[in-house]
Structure 1
Amino acid sequence: MEQALARANGGKGADAANACMQLIEIGRAFETRRAGAV
């Protein structure tokens, strides 16, 4: 989906898409860690 967004933006959104992916990965890691801590 992020690649589709980047293509729709003519490639200008690639950096933003990468940043979003990093935030998603961090969020998943945080949720997993929190779930494991409970």
Structure 2
Amino acid sequence: MDWAEITRQQCALQDQLKDMKLKGDSLPPATSPVLP
């Protein structure tokens, strides 16, 4: 895997996290990532 691919996946993950937060984050706290 090259750097561009890793960066693209990281961006996708960040977008998913932001989306879940905007929707109210329906996941239980135990499985939710702890963000600063």
TM over 0.5: yes
Where do 4+ consecutive residues of structure 1 move more than 2 Å? none
- Greater per-residue helix proportion: 1
CA RMSD of aligned residues (A): 1.9
Using structure 1 for the length normalisation, give the TM-score.
0.59
Q: Percent identity among equivalent residues?
A: 12
5+ unaligned residues in a row in structure 2: which ranges?
26-36
Using structure 2 for the length normalisation, give the TM-score.
0.62
Tell me the number of residue pairs that the alignment of Structure 1 and Structure 2 aligns: 25
Work out the CA distance in 2 between the residues paired with 1:15 and 1:37.
34
The structure whose RCO (Cα within 8 Å, separation 6+) is larger is 1
Shift of 1:29: 0.2
Work out the CA distance in 1 between the residues paired with 2:6 and 2:23.
26
